Structure 1
Amino acid sequence: MPSDLPTGEALQAVLFDMDGTLVDTEPLWWQATASVARTLGFELGPADTPHVLGHTVEDTAAHLLSARPPSRPAESTTDLIRLLTESFARRVERSARVMPGAPDLLHQLSAARLPTALVSASPRSIVDLVLPRLGHRFDHVVAAEDTARGKPYPDPYLEAARRLGADPGRCVAVEDSPTGITAATAAGCRVLAVTPEDGLPSLRQIRER
């Protein structure tokens, strides 16, 4: 099958973002963050989007602390992380939806014996809630706790490639957010950006990337 990878450099692995790519949880994360923001005395708006979607819970907690009204007493970062995680987990348990086409694509990758990794900005506790819904055994899972720096830094994708024994340049990363795309690109991965309108790529599109 045609590919723009240089001759002899076959695709080694496919690395998937989770929230917004395989499961429709980004609206749930926004809702969870908005509910915590209200306890700090403000409403989230469009200007907050780049600081919330695609980021770790630690980064989002730091943003909420910096954005709260000066008149409000500061919560501890630890308390905010706990509140955000608990609020998100309740919503994921109740209504997380697998993206259309995700189970079929993951099944095709298994049948083709292409290694896969899940590379998520969510904490391990959230990833563990989602994994059973996907019905796929990833070769490795990199969650927020697994690297010192999360997306948009390249660390999570570099760690996934390292665990797989793969060259990042011979991996395709499937991502939906600017934060995740920046991280995968910085790691040297070939990136397929997905949108709700276009859905997930086909196996052929992944191979050709």
Structure 2
Amino acid sequence: MTDDQEADGRRLPRAVLWDMDGTLLDTEPLWTIAMEQFAEKLGIEMTPELRTATMGNSSVDALTKVYDAARVPDSGRDFDGDEAWMVQQVLALFADDLRWRPGAVDALELVAAADIPMVLVTNTIREVTDTMLDVLGRDRFVATVCGDEVAAGKPEPHIYRRAAELVGVPIGECLAFEDSPVGAAATFAAGVPSIVIPSAVPVRARPTFTFRETLEGLTLDDLAAACRVGTRSGAAARDVQKYEA
């Protein structure tokens, strides 16, 4: 953060933590196709309710919910094999149709121009994330944290706490961007203020959330305002380990 940013009365975040799927990249429709293919592979239909339940989940959590819906016994749950199958499906889909969310590029450039370090924080596994970074631009981020690199993915707080550790900033002085109920829950549980741009599923309001319809038109004043909201509510949020989204 520069002296000029402090001098004009704005207190900007010391780091910005970006979710990827549905926030920066319009991948949710492609994940939906892959999840439908997986459900069909297990002999069931991917209902809207099941898709909503899996949205934004880590791969293990998403697979578990589909296994449960298909009544697959524990002995028949091949997490490693089915995850590898899913990876191949989504990479093929992403190769053909990977798009930015509205305003995402300008938002990244806004934060970069303010010299605020950015971390990519995603439930997506490392193998898939590394492919997406070719689109996002690796050099934009000082670090990346994936769902398969922490004890438990979103909605647990571990992934955001790890991101703050990697950038060396107290988590309450960061600002996160999220789109899903699962991701937003993780920010609240971790005690990081967040700007939430719901992409496909409504997100329950929480004291540390600032809602926007899109990243288009984002300004530094918007970042500062979201930080003020988080500061006022942060003490209560940091006492919460998790909540049911």
TM-score of the alignment, normalized to the shorter chain, above 0.5: yes
2:148 maps to which residue? 145
1:60, CA displacement in angstroms? 1.1
* Partner AA of 2:220 in structure 1: L
Say yes or no: does 1:117 pair with 2:119. Answer: yes
1:187 paired residue among 169, 173, 190: 190
* Partner AA of 1:91 in structure 2: L
Query: What does the per-residue CA deviation read over 1:7-50, in whole Å, with 9 as the maximum and x for residues that have no partner?
Result: xxx52111010000000001111110110110101011122134
Alignment root-mean-square deviation, CA: 2.0
1:27 maps to which residue? 29
Q: In the alignment, is the contact (CA less than 8 A) between 1:51 and 1:59 conserved in 2? A: no
1:140, CA displacement in angstroms? 0.8
Determine which structure has greater relative contact order: mean sequence separation of CA pairs < 8 Å that are 6+ residues apart, divided by chain length: 1
Q: In the alignment, is the contact (CA less than 8 A) between 2:24 and 2:100 conserved in 1? A: yes
1:208 paired residue among 225, 231, 238: 225
Relative to the length of structure 1, the TM-score reads 0.90
* Count of aligned pairs between the two proteins: 203
* Partner AA of 1:99 in structure 2: R
CA distance in 2, matches of 1:85, 1:168: 31
Q: In the alignment, is the contact (CA less than 8 A) between 2:56 and 2:123 conserved in 1? A: yes
* Partner AA of 1:156 in structure 2: I
1:155 paired residue among 154, 158, 171: 158
1:203, CA displacement in angstroms? 3.1
Secondary structure of 2:186's match?
A: helix
CA distance in 2, matches of 1:151, 1:125: 18
1:31–1:202 CA distance, 2 compared to 1 (3 A): farther
- In the alignment, structure 2 segments of 5+ residues that lack a partner are 1-7, 200-211, 227-245
* Partner AA of 1:124 in structure 2: R
Query: What does the per-residue CA deviation read over 1:143-168, in whole Å, with 9 as the maximum and x for residues that have no partner?
Result: 12220100000000000001111111
- In the alignment, structure 1 segments of 5+ residues that lack a partner are none
2:16 maps to which residue? 14
1:1-150 alignment, distance < 5 Å: 11-69=13-71, 74-135=76-137, 136-150=139-153
* Partner AA of 2:183 in structure 1: G
Relative to the length of structure 2, the TM-score reads 0.77
Secondary structure of 1:55's match?
A: coil
1:70, CA displacement in angstroms? 6.0
CA distance in 1, matches of 2:159, 2:147: 8
